[in-house]
Amino acid sequence: MEHIDSIIIGSGAGGLSAALSLARAGQKVVVIEQHYVPGGWCHSFYINGQRFSPGVHYIGKMDKGASTSGLFEALGIANDLVFFRMKASAYEHCWIGDKRIDMPAGIDNLYESLAKRFPQEKKGLKKYLSLVRKVSEQLYLIPNMSGFWDNVTIPFRTAQLGKYGLFSLKRVIDWHIKDPLLKQVLNVQCGDHGLPPGLAAFPVHCVAMDHYFDGGFYPMGGGAGIVKAMTTAIKKLGGEIRTGVGVRKILLEEKGKKKSAVGVELENGEQLKADRVVSNADPHQTYHKMIGVENLSKKLQAKLTKTTYSVTSLMLFITVDIDVRKAGMDSGNIWMMRDKDMDELFREMSGLDILIDDEFPAVFISCSSLKDPASYNGHYHNIEVVTYIKYESFSKFENEGAVRSEKYQQYKERIGEKLLNNLEKVLPTLRNHIVQMDVSTPITNEFYIRATKGNVYGTEKSLMQVGPWTYSNKAEIDNLYLCGASILAHGVGGALNSGMQTASKILNLKVDDMLKPEAGQEVRIYDAEDNAEWPGWLTRKMEQKKKLFKEKNSVQKV
């Protein structure tokens, strides 16, 4: 049997970045993925040839020199990626009741736009946006601080983080902003971490806002475009990606007074031995399902018992044969919500009876065929509509087998109708142009992602579950490591970063050494709204896609 240095359980962004970092250091890695395609929340899937990406809707900090593009450069895959810049003047559309407010890219542009709409809040708004950026920047300084001088200067270099870091988002924004509508606009990206202002840790929201201050970007190929670049690189380096089989348990051996991870047993009974195991699964899946609580310390057992997980989701995937641009849509996201206090809104969304009312209190709407123009076939547009709920709304179905009950199907149909009602506000003639649609539920998330309680962001990002209170990337069991959304931060950038930090721990390197960009690497970025500077190959790709679609439909009609 070929020697394996590291087995990585799960092929989400964190697992793949850890695997690629280790493979680049010369290790033989094997990635195990229970789904039939790799990617975790970054994967894409097709319905009758139309692509959907359930977990990747936009990514920030992609310009040259920014942190996310720097991660791709450090991983050596930037040249294999193409991103589209979403509408710069309105990458976020806030539909709050009957009010429409756009968020432009650029912190100065955002200030000018909101200050014009809310002139009485100009002073507080400027101070608040500056504070958000400073806290985010200071948070990123912490992992890279070492040595005497850093320890001496840290109180001065992280003054705002120290002052506001232990407060909720609601407390801090209330100190700076009075207008309820402006608060809703500034808090609209609570959807990017899944907690209302009253529960969200202020630093977490600062990182989310700062991540998108310079606008949103969407990968060509959807989330799968990122996955393909990473898996291709891993394979070129001799790594292996196994899909369609999960891990039943992590194999342990007693070594002195400590237990050590020595490999995994797959669900088909096969055993693989390795020098170490890296789990990209969440803590519950890792420790409860694959390790067993009997092998854990009392302290870790207590932590697991107290851990809560982030919101789960309902999603509508729909293809329409309508010119959505003429209807007013563009590459910007739409956050649609009722005009009320956001904490109250989240309480409504957390209600256990999700079948009441004719629409959901708040939804996120994304048109991937506008964000990724290369995917547009000239006729069909693909749209994803997302809302958050509590898992308990669907817990009655958690023990069903692969064949779902009639009641579950009735739930899905009713949910689909409600989400259509939300989407109809954007596309009034929608129901006359539906080509296909499907709905995913928390049970879908559990089945394909193996996310505990169908969570979408790993552990809940409340104050006592982030920073020093999160799970360590080095487990108490020797040669067992963790990465992913529950370890460092959620989102594509957070997960990629976690994988690289875990790899640096294994390789005994400084994180800064892992993050050094590879020479000659640069992500290509084009404007989703303006094709004036698109290269010839991209234009030809789009023309070919439209031609093939037209030919295919002509054959079917004959």
pLDDT digits (tens, 9 = 90+) for 134-145: 999 988 766 554
Tell me the three state secondary structure of residue 536: helix
H helix intervals, 196-253: 202-212, 223-236
Q: How many CB atoms lie under 10 A from the CB of residue 352?
A: 11
Q: Is the pLDDT of residue 557 over 80?
A: no
In this structure, what are the phi and psi dihedrals at residue 440, rounded to the nearest 5 degrees?
-110, 155
Backbone angles phi, psi at 253, to 5 degrees: -135, 145
d(CA 237, CA 252): 28
460 HSE (CA, 13 A, CB side): 18
- When computed from its CA atoms, the radius of gyration of the chain, rounded to whole angstroms, is 23
Q: With 60 as the cut, is the pLDDT of residue 151 above it?
A: no
pLDDT at 149 (0 to 100): 42
Hunting for tokens 């097709």 — which residue is that?
46
Band the pLDDT of 157: cuts 50, 70, 90. Answer: low
Q: What is the pLDDT of residue 155?
A: 53
pLDDT per position as a tens digit, 485-539: 999 899 999 999 999 999 999 999 988 888 899 999 999 999 999 999 999 999 9
For residues 464 and 239, the answer to whether their CB atoms sit within 8 Å is: no
> What global pTM score does this model have?
0.95
CA-CA distances (angstroms) from residue 429 to 93, 321, 413, 510? 20, 11, 20, 56
- DSSP bridge pairs for 309: 459
CB 51 within 8 A of CB 45: yes
| pLDDT digits 0-9 by tens, 387-445 | 999 999 998 998 888 889 999 999 999 999 999 999 999 999 999 999 999 999 999 99
Query: pLDDT tens-digit profile of 80-109?
Result: 999 999 999 999 999 999 999 999 999 999
Q: What is the tens place of the pLDDT at every residue in 184-207?
A: 999 999 999 999 999 999 999 999
Residue 542 to residue 552: CA distance in whole angstroms? 15
Average pLDDT score over residue span 156-166: 79
Q: How do residues 50-66 score in pLDDT, each as one tens digit? A: 999 999 999 999 999 99
**Which tokens go with 362?**
């708040």
Which pLDDT score, from 0 to 100, does residue 139 have?
A: 84
Question: Quick check: 36 and 520 in contact, CB under 8 A?
Answer: no
Model confidence at 159: pLDDT above 50: yes
Measured CA to CA, the distance from residue 190 to residue 200 in angstroms comes to: 8
Residues 6+ apart with CB under 8 A from 135: 160, 161, 164, 165, 202, 203, 206
Round to whole Å and give the CA distance between 495 and 472.
14
* Chain centroid offset of residue 525 CA: 20
Q: Among candidates 226, 195, 290, which has minimal Cα distance to 12?
A: 226
Flag whether pLDDT at 112 surpasses 70.
Answer: yes
Contact 544, 374 (CB under 8 A): no
Task: Give the pLDDT band (50/70/90) at residue 114.
Answer: very high
* Nearest-angstrom CA–CA distance, 53 and 496: 18
pLDDT at 558: 43
- Phi and psi at 529, nearest 5°, equal -100, -15
Residue with tokens 């101070």: 127
User: Taking all residues of the chain, what is their mean pLDDT, rounded to a whole number?
Assistant: 94
pLDDT at 144: 55
- The residue type found at 191 is G
> CATH assignment of 6-83+220-307+464-514?
3.50.50.60
CA-to-CA distance for 366 and 373, rounded, in angstroms?
13
pLDDT above 70: percentage of residues in the chain: 96
Instruction: Give the residue, 467 or 103, on which the prediction is more confident.
Output: 103
Over 60: is that where the pLDDT of 280 sits? Answer: yes
Kindly report the number of other CB atoms within 10 A of residue 491's CB atom. 24
At residue 141, the pLDDT reads: 66
Give the model confidence (pLDDT) of 321-375 as tens digits.
999 999 999 999 999 999 999 999 999 999 989 999 999 999 999 999 999 999 9
In this prediction, residue 153 carries a pLDDT of: 44
Q: Which amino acid is at 35?
A: H
Cα 70 from chain centre: 18
- 211 pLDDT higher than 70: yes
The answer to whether the CB of 419 falls within 8 A of the CB of 287 is no
Residues 486/458, Cβ–Cβ less than 8 Å: yes
Residue 415 pLDDT = 97
What residues pair up with 99 in beta bridges, in sequence order?
A: 96
Mean pLDDT of 15-20: 98
Residue with tokens 């000018």: 112
* Inter-residue contact 10 to 484 (CB < 8 Å): yes
Residue 17 near residue 491, CB atoms below 8 Å: no
- Rounded distance between C-alpha atoms, residue 204 and residue 132, angstroms: 10
DSSP assignment of 276-289 equals: EEEE-S-HIIIIII
Q: How confident is the model at residue 229 (pLDDT cuts 50, 70, 90)?
A: very high
Confidence class of residue 297 from pLDDT cuts 50, 70 and 90?
very high
Looking at residue 284, what is its pLDDT?
A: 98
